[in-house]
Structure 1
Amino acid sequence: VIEIIFKRIKEKDKEINSFITIFEEESFEKAKKLDEKIKNKETTGLLFGIPIAIKDNICVKGKPLTCASKILEGYIATYNATAVEKILNENAIIIGKTNMDEFAMGSSNEYSYFGPVQNPLKKGYVPGGSSGGSAASVAAGFCIAALGSDTGGSVRQPASFTGLVGFKPTYGRVSRFGLVAFASSCDQIGPITKDVMDAWIIFKIIAGYDEKDKTTLNYPIEEIPEEEIKFKIGYPENLLKDGVDEEIRNRIDETVREFARIKNYNLKEINMETFKIAIPVYHIITGAEASSNLARFDGIRYGLREKGEDLEDIYKKTRGKGFGEEVIRRILMGAFVLRSGYYEEYYLKAQKARTLILEEFIKNFGEVDFIITPTSPFPPFKIGEKIEDPIKLYLADIFTVSANLAGIPAISIPCGKNKEGLPIGIQIMARPLDEARLFKFSLEIEKFIKEKYGD
């Protein structure tokens, strides 16, 4: 299997560009060790021999960690992220580190020092971001699953653009130890897989309390319920009226209504007014956190170091040359909103608005079990089409950022294709820690979609 995979990567990935680093030699060594385990009838893990790719902002010990940035040139991770440790404990084979938007800032995987990633489903189109390389590696058949990070939709949106399943757990379910921080109050590691059940298996493996990350929750993960549950679905139909691609709007509407009718589930139209403010709130909060988190990349301790006349000159030259355009844009925005005199006007106001977003979710989850929206307002677009206008690109996350701001679990599931053959994603959001019921519902709607629209 490993031989076939690396042959495929060498043949196809020059064009797709989904990997930054591949671990060919180590993968063959691991495969041999696993073969020995079978011969010796030793215990195998849940991911025994399964090839898995890791987004390049998650630490794998002894391997380069770039975050797709020049500033981390030459840096080698000195430890494994907790999520990586857990999948290795289940005898998975990590085949490489995937391309991404630099420091996970972007929605198209065009902001990478290592060049853009192509969508394996259609050449010349973006795979989504920021975990575009992880999604592309699974869609291209290079691996069974990949880990990504989701700060504002960075697992769900690329999954939607590549016809895959992407899951963002409740904030604190999965340890962030070993994940390079972008916006610490929103970051969460999640799986990108070919189907819902694979996402559940990987989620159960990587979830759990971790002493190394004090934001993790010590709360058991329940099994997927077997009994029939008459779910209540919340559908904010008014959100789909403006700015959503017509084919996507019609497909989501048709799917939600027909699925609810067939299953005899209660479908309730709900208001989600705070979605309209979610993008500016998200960018103020995450920009502020990023400007603080990325201060550590100064050219002194690790990565790139430019020569300068004095310490300040080294800082300026290193950060000026090391960071890409989008990262600089977000650091500047974050530093601005934290400035004295602007703090109350922007950052404090955004934190209050974040509370309103959470309160609206709580209110709606008092009446419904799940809230369904499209994952993205538009289908995959051409490389270069939106990069000149950052605001247009930010709107790709209009349906996904609220789940990060509220810390709730959310999943994107493929929902067929449009007339051009480009995939459409449907997003389901649930109450915090309600992953087991979310996956029960997701398995049901996945089955319905496959029967209705095909794979």
Structure 2
Amino acid sequence: MTDLTKLTAVEIAGLVASGETSAVEVTQAHLDRIGAVDDRVHAFLHVDTEGALAAARSVDERRAAGEELGPLAGVPVAVKDVLTTKGVPTTVGSKILEGWRPPYDSTIVERLRAAGTVMLGKTNMDEFAMGSSTEYSAYGPTRNPWDTDRIPGGSGGGSAAALAAYEAPLSIGSDTGGSIRQPGAVTGTVGAKPTYGGTSRYGLVAFSSSLDTPGPCARTVLDAALLHEAIGGHDPRDSTSIPAPVPDVVAAARRGATGDLTGVKLGVVTEFTGEGAEPGVMAAFRESAEALAKLGAEIVEISCPHFKYALPAYYLIAPSECSSNLARFDGVRFGLRVGDDGNRSLEEVMSMTREAGFGPEVKRRIMIGTYALSSGYYDAYYGQAQKVRTLITRDFTSAFEQVDALISPTTPFVAFPIGSRTADPYQMYLADLFTIPTNLYGGPAISVPCGLSEGLPVGFQIMAPTMADDRMYRVAAALESAVGTLTPPTL
């Protein structure tokens, strides 16, 4: 009998469409898998068993009635707990929103429901998406299915781990500085950051409004493209949403899977291939670049001199925006409230609520951001960081005049042991060294598995110009056709 949890989203959708299995059977198989392994992985913060089975029954009933459904109908999906879900807890990995059940769905969730996917539940994450290891969740760390003593990446480690543990065939993440791609890299899965504004931020609990980008996570490039197509496109409720259709990412993925990259020119970012990356990571990256060359791609070196300043610029811009965005969590209107005994002032209640509700990494970034925006320091810190952001954008613009896409390792190292970097924030921040420039620029990027180092997955990053998301999917699918997918050890 076929193990439904080991199938791709495309395979599941095909079985449901043909009537060989039902959406309810598929959903139950994944719920059973979560029940069997999630105590060791902790990918989920909330499993919506009742809601998932009801959604699956609805798909089966609509299909039985002859209704034409989308290409992902009946396929289960896990959703990062940063997106609001009507009536389903949304905590953003923080105690300050523990138990909060939003009164509305985010646009991404609305589109998932409209596509006929079945939402299994909400996945674990670093608190307010601030972290690179999912160790900063207020509800405990998620573990990497490849080695449960190691991190699954962050901030969206739960979404990536759910895929690698076969708890879900699809998941949704959000990428502010690499939070989709970096977990994808260290769990051997596919993670795509769309063009900023190509997916809606309506209902996404904001960390850094000029950087946050929801996107698809999957075990194959085609599955990711289908999910991207389902959730992308203009949303009038999001003022930063691009009023243009999603590029044809599915056709691009199918074309790439043929393994022909004739006429495609790829630039290796020289600043990301020197010191900083582990030898095993660089070896896997170089072998994969050679595989792309054998498929017809021209590989050249491209220098992006300002990329080396991306990390410090990001850690001024993102905390500054979080300092502003997180001011709404005050214990007055929703969420946690501490110290409201009738004898304390509003200011005291707000202070006590934030002290109890926010974790140490969130407090650290709020303080950095508040300082960077303060009178007398704004121009020296935040203003300078924005100038660096402009220089990085110019580097991308110049590079894309010479090549079709840029390539690099996704992250400098493989998954590290849980607890090994929490005492040193800078070492933790280095996990996003290669992913941050794309967020500052606003273009799309994808991480695809490209081999192993020390028995652990390595990610290959493809960066494309804004609104050229299809280009990265073509290259990613071609690489996947050449090197294959990775199979995690059995839990």
Q: TM-score, normalised by structure 1?
A: 0.97
Offset at residue 454 of structure 1 (A) = 8.7
CA contact (8 A) 1:66 1:75 kept: yes
Does 1:280 find its partner at 2:298? no
1:255-285 CA deviation, whole Å, 9 max, x = no partner? 213421x133222111122221111100100
Give the corresponding residue for 1:339. Answer: 374
Counterparts of 1:388-403 in structure 2 under 5 Å? 388-403=423-438
The alpha carbon displacement at 1:229 in A equals 4.9
Do the aligned residues in 1 keep the contact of 2:271 with 2:308 (CA within 8 Å)?
Answer: no
Q: Does residue 247 of structure 2 align to residue 222 of structure 1? A: yes
Does residue 354 of structure 2 align to residue 319 of structure 1? yes
Alignment match, 1:157: 182
1:363-378 equivalence runs, <5 A: 363-378=398-413
Q: Give per-residue Cα distances to partners, 1:190-233, cap 9 Å, x unaligned.
A: 11101101111111111111110011111123333559751111
The AA in structure 2 aligned to 1:239 is F
Give the secondary structure class of the aligned counterpart of 2:300.
Answer: strand
In percent, how many aligned pairs have the same letter? Answer: 44
Indicate which of 72, 95, 103 corresponds to 2:128: 103
Q: Of 306, 322, 334, which residue of structure 2 is paired with 1:290?
A: 322
Matching of residues 5-16 of structure 1 within 5 Å: 5-16=30-41
Which range moves more in the overlay, 308-317 or 161-170? 308-317
Using the size of structure 2 for normalisation, the TM-score is 0.90
Q: CA deviation at 1:237?
A: 3.2
Structure 2 distance, partners of 1:410, 1:18, is 24
Which whole-Å CA distance do the structure 2 matches of 1:121 and 1:251 have between them? 18
| Aligned counterpart, 2:441 | 406
Corresponding residue SS for 2:431: helix
> Hey, what's the Cα distance between the residues in 2 that align with 1:28 and 1:137?
18
CA distance in 1, matches of 2:217, 2:440: 21
Q: Which residue of 2 aligns with 1:430?
A: 464
Give the Cα separation in 1 of the matches to 2:337 and 2:291: 58
Within the candidate set 204, 211, 219, 1:179 is matched to 204
Judge which range, 398-407 or 440-449, deviates more: 440-449
Contact 1:416 1:454 in 2 (8 A): no
Residue 11 (structure 2) aligns with:
none
2:284 is equivalent to residue 251 of structure 1: yes
| CA positional deviation for 1:32 | 1.9
Which amino acid is 2:337 matched to?
Answer: R
Equivalenced residue count is 452
| SS of corresponding position for 2:208 | coil
SS of corresponding position for 1:415: strand
What is the DSSP-based 3-state SS (H/G/I as helix, E as strand, rest coil) of the residue aligned with 1:112?
A: coil
Residues 175 and 208 in structure 1, CA contact (< 8 A), matched pair in contact too: yes
CA displacement at 1:45 relative to structure 2:
2.2
1:322 partner amino acid: G
- Structure 1: which 5+ residue stretches go unaligned? none
Q: Could you list the per-position Cα deviations for residues 142-181 of structure 1 after superposition, in whole angstroms to 9, with x for gaps in the alignment?
A: 1110001000000000011110000000010001001000
2:146 match: secondary structure: coil
Give the corresponding residue for 2:23. Answer: none
> Superposition RMSD on alpha carbons, in Å?
1.5
Q: Which runs of 5+ in 2 are unaligned?
A: 1-25
Deviation of 1:239 (Å): 2.7
1:3 equivalent among 5, 28, 45: 28
Separation in 2, partners of 1:411, 1:389: 28
Query: In the alignment, is the contact (CA less than 8 A) between 2:106 and 2:203 conserved in 1?
Result: yes
- Residue 335 of structure 1 aligns with an amino acid whose one-letter code is T
Provide the rounded CA distance (Å) in 2 between the counterparts of 1:186 and 1:425: 22
**2:113, 2:105 → 1: CA distance?**
10
| Offset, 1:43 | 1.9
> What pairs with 1:167-246 in structure 2 (closer than 5 Å)?
167-223=192-248, 224=251, 229-246=262-279
Moved over 4 A (4+): 225-229
